[in-house]
Amino acid sequence: MGLFSKIKKAFKKVTGFVKKVVKKVVKGVKKVVKKIGSSKILKALAIAAAVVVTGGAAIGAFTGGTAASGTFAGWMMNASQAVTGFTVGGVNVGAVMKPFASAGKFLGKAAAGVTDFTGLTTEAGRTGSVQASTLSGQPFGIESTATEGAVSSGTQLTTEQILAGETPASIARASQMPSAQGALNLPSTLPSNVPGATTVSGYQLNIPTTIPGATGVSAGAGVTEQLAVNVPKVLGKTPATEAVKTGFFDTTAGKVVSTVGRTVGTAALTGMTQQYIAGDPEQQGSMAGAAVEGAEYSDPLKVFAAQKGIDTDGIYQHIMYGNSDPSSQYGNDLYRQATFGVAS
Amino acid sequence: MGTPKRKANPVVSSSLSEAAGQIVLDGLDAGFDIEDIAPDRGPKIRGEAKFSQEGLDNLVNLSSKGGPIPGQSLTRDTEDPYPWETPPEFTNPREALDDVVGSIMQPEAMKNIVSALAQGAAVADLGTAILYAKFNEGKISPDAMMLLAEPVMYTIMAIGEEANIKYNIEGNDLDEFDDEDDKEDFDNKVNEFRNVLSDIKKGATKNIEPSKIDSNVVPESILAQVKEKGPEIKSLLSKGEE
């Protein structure tokens, strides 16, 4: 069997599957809503599916260019609108580069052509241009309706300016800059010496070379020792020697208590540590081996993808349908799990 | 017109049919009427497939030309491969879908699709032809072709609905859904009749007791037989022995 025969056979299978699924969905809808004809449900399904496939652009096509917020099409796209932030009304779709939105962006133009087909709009009226095939004697594909005067009123570059690397934008910027306010009087050369960089007597910093009163300190003493001697000397105080008192823990009884306390404390800490390492079986989502659940694994999109067996790195390679982008699941609490607090 | 009581719930699914179904159900639950979703626009144009001798002759002519000789594809110059033998232009099915649906949504293509649907072409056949052409052009791989079958078919169906055409989905199944509705209605009515009959039977047999039957209405000899045979007596309406 050749490749094409195989493709044909596979396509027949897919078609059968689609028909089966359509029937199943029709039955499902019929269970919920009684007394509706199957063809009516089929129509509703086809319209909803087309809106989903075209990312809302079909709304513009099928409803005459706008999707009023009260209509079903406008309503169903609101979920997506909230997620992707693109406007459906006026076919201004695709402000955000997300697959669902980008489909709308791409198809917005194509769908607008459909409204031409249905006679709701005209290409010339919509785009301001008409295709060359409709104009006689025009050699190029698109004829702009912009007048020659409007084109020539733009910035014209001279040969010198082009050679000097000027661009229309730089010329425009230069011409828009006000001469009195905007001009920066930058010096063309740097001064040979820094102004006022002469030594002024009396303004020099007299950095002491020795610590005042550094007497009575043994040669080679460290900073701590020097401070201990010098600070009281500067403050005019005599450092008092603290009398060492015999504490409870220095007594025999105290020593016993101390030993017992240390042993008990160590045992308790060991137990706690062991429980921590083993993990609490009662606690939902606890992990053994003192493993700390990273935020990465509670990412809703990762969970969503894992359930579908999808690699998140290539999630946009997988076709998914609906009125919201899979990325929208970032904002939802799809997955709640007890996790250890991790300092971010 | 129904007014939605709430916002649409976000729906994401790997199956377009399922997603569309969920959205429609969500819309109905939110307060929309089915007429708001799928407005009735009068009687539809019946896209019935009709027998055409000319079409059949064309098909016979094409098939009589024969297929490729086994191994013919291997004789092709490797420096000059067919477009489908090279890597596809769209490796991402999303981009491929944009391209395919974009092609369908062009006014000229729409006219042809509407015309074909009205003349009885099936949605599946049109979808196959479109995707097969894209594959032949080297735009998509066979795998992407399979993945795009469902959305492309739905797009064509939506075009047919917008053009108010009663179209075939596969083969000549124009009235399949209506037939199913009729069959369902018939089954419902039969069930209803059976229930009513059963109720009548129950009510009738409950009231008839041989002891209470007036001897002036039924002769005593028959009553005696009834008492004697009891449950063996079968109704005139009961199923007879075969």
Alpha carbon of A284: minimum distance to chain B alpha carbons (Å):
28
Length of chain A equals 344
For residue A25, the surrounding DSSP H or E stretch is helix A3-32
Of B3, B10, B15, the CB nearest to A324: B10
Domain assignment present for residue A176? The answer is no
**Which chain A positions have a beta carbon within 8 Å of B131's beta carbon?**
11
Q: Which of A57-61, A70-74, B58-62, B126-130 is predicted least confidently?
A: A57-61
Q: Which of A30-44, A60-74, B70-84 is predicted least confidently?
A: A60-74
Residue B122 phi, psi dihedral angles, 5° rounding: -85, 150
User: For residue B176, what pLDDT is reported?
Assistant: 81
Max Cα-Cα span within chain B: 107
Pairing between β-strand B45-46 and β-strand B165-166 as defined by DSSP bridges: parallel
Domain total of chain A: 3
- Residues B60-104: tens digit of each pLDDT: 998 888 888 888 888 888 899 999 889 999 988 888 888 998 899
Best residue in A18, A69, A126, A327 for a mutation probing chain B (most B CBs within 10 Å): A18
Would the CB atoms of A328 and B36 count as touching at under 8 Å? Answer: no
Q: Supply the mean pLDDT for chain A.
A: 60
DSSP letter string over B37-97?
HS---SSPEE------HHHHHHHHHHHHT--PPTTGGGGS-TTS--GGGSPPS--SHHHHH
Residue A82 sits in which domain range? 13-122
- Give the count of Cβ contacts less than 8 A between chain A and B: 245
- Greater confidence (A167 vs A272) lies with A272
Mark whether A331 and A271 lie in a shared domain.
no
**Reported pTM:** 0.55
Question: Residue B147: CB partners within 8 Å, gap ≥ 6?
Answer: A319, B93
Alpha carbon of B240: minimum distance to chain A alpha carbons (Å):
38
d(CA B238, CA B197): 12
Domain assignment present for residue A28? The answer is yes
Mark whether A21 and A85 lie in a shared domain.
yes
The reply to whether A42 touches chain B by the CB within 8 Å rule is yes
Helix B176-207, helix A38-53: angle, nearest 10: 140
Identify the domain boundary among A60, A94, A122: A122
Mark whether A299 and A323 lie in a shared domain.
yes
For residue B165, the surrounding DSSP H or E stretch is strand B165-166
- Residues A248-284: tens digit of each pLDDT: 777 787 887 778 888 887 887 887 777 666 666 666 6
Domain assignment present for residue A41? The answer is yes
Mark whether A269 and A321 lie in a shared domain.
no
**Which chain B positions have a beta carbon within 8 Å of A41's beta carbon?**
24, 34, 38
Would the CB atoms of B18 and A21 count as touching at under 8 Å? Answer: yes
The reply to whether A287 touches chain B by the CB within 8 Å rule is no
| Closest chain B residue by Cα to residue A47 | B158
With H, G, I as helix, E, B as strand and everything else as coil, classify residue A123. helix
CA A275 → CA A263, A278, A288, A294, A340, distances in Å?
18, 5, 9, 20, 15
Mark whether A267 and A339 lie in a shared domain.
no
Residue A299 phi, psi dihedral angles, 5° rounding: -65, 120
- Residues B216-231: tens digit of each pLDDT: 777 778 777 777 776 6
d(CA B107, CA B234): 71
* Inter-residue contact B136 to B83 (CB < 8 Å): yes
* Inter-residue contact A61 to A50 (CB < 8 Å): no
Residues 155-184 of A with CB under 8 A from B: none
Mark whether A111 and A27 lie in a shared domain.
yes
d(CA A246, CA A210): 42
Place of tokens 């504490």: A247
Pairing between β-strand A142-144 and β-strand B165-166 as defined by DSSP bridges: unpaired
Of A18, A32, A110, the CB nearest to B25: A32
- Residues B138-181: tens digit of each pLDDT: 999 988 888 899 899 999 999 998 888 899 988 888 888 777 77
d(CA A162, CA A140): 27
Of A10, A38, A317, the CB nearest to B181: A38
